[in-house]
Structure 1
């Protein structure tokens, strides 16, 4: 059974002790959560991280406009900050800072044969079903298999350094929001039908970014730690 202790830290934070882990919750003007792991020489700070592809401002602006229209349904949805929308390739979870170097080297190895490639942002739908959506998403389409091959290579290489591969198939998408109840759902379903085949733009992928995620009550804050560039310009007839 897990042992739990709760007390105030001298810095004005709540400290939750759960066996080998401690969680600091900042209750000051900028609340946030920090994960610590108990090591031989004390607590070790953990960083919540993931690998993703950033979107250009032109695409983010278009998604923000669509999100604003969906909000007119006044549905019970927890919306993703449009400026933070990204394409997640791999969620790494809580890591120690010393792991960053090995992760970056592994990603560099994974992308070294991948040229720049384009992605189309097109279509809108819902998981698990468009008639009963729990997650509202925007679709992505690739020409060829550069994205799926890249993601698969990342999974395989990161597994070698201790990161468990995903047990679900990779379905590239951009999350707009998560539906919390049935309020306004009929309106949302109608809007999803309207944008089912909508083309939102196209952009070129030039790199993969390692992000840090700070969890806060107002929503997560994503900070880029390192960008790993792809090989470079396209080559006619090239593969990966």
Structure 2
């Protein structure tokens, strides 16, 4: 069964900027720069028939390219941090694309996404023994970087290995955003 999700690819030059923020946080498992992405909708482990139905259905999305802005670092998990992320400014076109994906995937029988969409790029996954103070110290030192903007001209259907951390991610199908 493939493990699938939809997302935006991060351009190599922005990935390089983000990769320079790696290190300095004990207990962090850093994501490889070639696996940086912005998840639009996690689909999960599904059978091949459903995967093919989803891949075919995503061609129906007709959206224009739009700008995506990455701005600063943050973390998920509060007092028990579980990830260091690059924050993505939630723009109207990004939110609308994600909402349309959500609607289409529910039509093929997937359960609604349980979490609120918070656009981000995961840079590191954190083990349970990483303290919130360690994360706060890391963010204080490395948490600022100049806003980086790129134009999203397509979204993709990714597959992932069933493992901790997921990568490497494989583009199964691209879906162009049309002007």
1:200 Cα deviation from its structure 2 partner: 4.6
The residue aligned with 1:26 is none
Give the one of 43, 51, 61 matched to 1:100. 51
Instruction: Please give the alpha-carbon distance, in whole angstroms, between the structure 2 residues aligned to 1:98 and 1:134.
Output: 33
Shift of 1:84: 0.5
In our comparison, the structure showing a higher alpha carbon Rg is 1
Deviation >3 Å, runs of 4+? 181-188, 194-197, 215-219
Q: Could you say which structure has the greater relative contact order, defined with CA pairs below 8 angstroms and 6 or more residues apart?
A: 2
In structure 2, distance between residues paired with 1:125 and 1:229: 30
Q: TM-score, normalised by structure 1?
A: 0.67
Instruction: Report the structure, 1 or 2, having the larger helix content.
Output: 2
Match of 1:154 in 2: 101
State whether residues 104 and 228 of structure 1, in contact with CA within 8 Å, keep that contact through their aligned partners in structure 2. no
Whole-angstrom distance in 2 between the partners of 1:78 and 1:63: 14
2:127 is aligned with 1:175: no
- Matched with 1:51 is 6
Q: Which residue in the other structure is 1:72 paired with? A: 24
Question: Does residue 153 of structure 2 align to residue 210 of structure 1?
Answer: no
> Normalising to structure 2: TM-score of the pair?
0.88
Counterpart check, 1:61 vs 2:8: no
Q: Does 1:134 align with 2:89?
A: no
Unmatched runs of 5 consecutive residues or more in structure 2: none
Deviations 1:30-72 (A, max 9, x none): xxxxxxxxxxxxxxxx1111111101000111111111xxx23
Q: 1:217 to 1:194 in 2, by over 3 A?
A: closer
> Higher strand share goes to which structure?
1
What SS does structure 2 have at the residue aligned with 1:66?
coil
CA RMSD of aligned residues (A): 2.2
| Structure 1 residues 184 and 215: alpha-carbon distance in aligned structure 2, compared to 1, 3 A threshold | same
Indicate if the aligned counterparts of 1:62 and 1:200 stay in contact, CA closer than 8 A. Answer: no
Alpha carbons of structure 1 residues 82 and 123: separation in structure 2 relative to 1, 3 Å: same
In structure 2, distance between residues paired with 1:219 and 1:159:
23
1:196 deviates by 3.8
Task: Specify the alignment match of 1:192 in structure 2.
Answer: 139
Are 1:121 and 2:73 an aligned pair? no
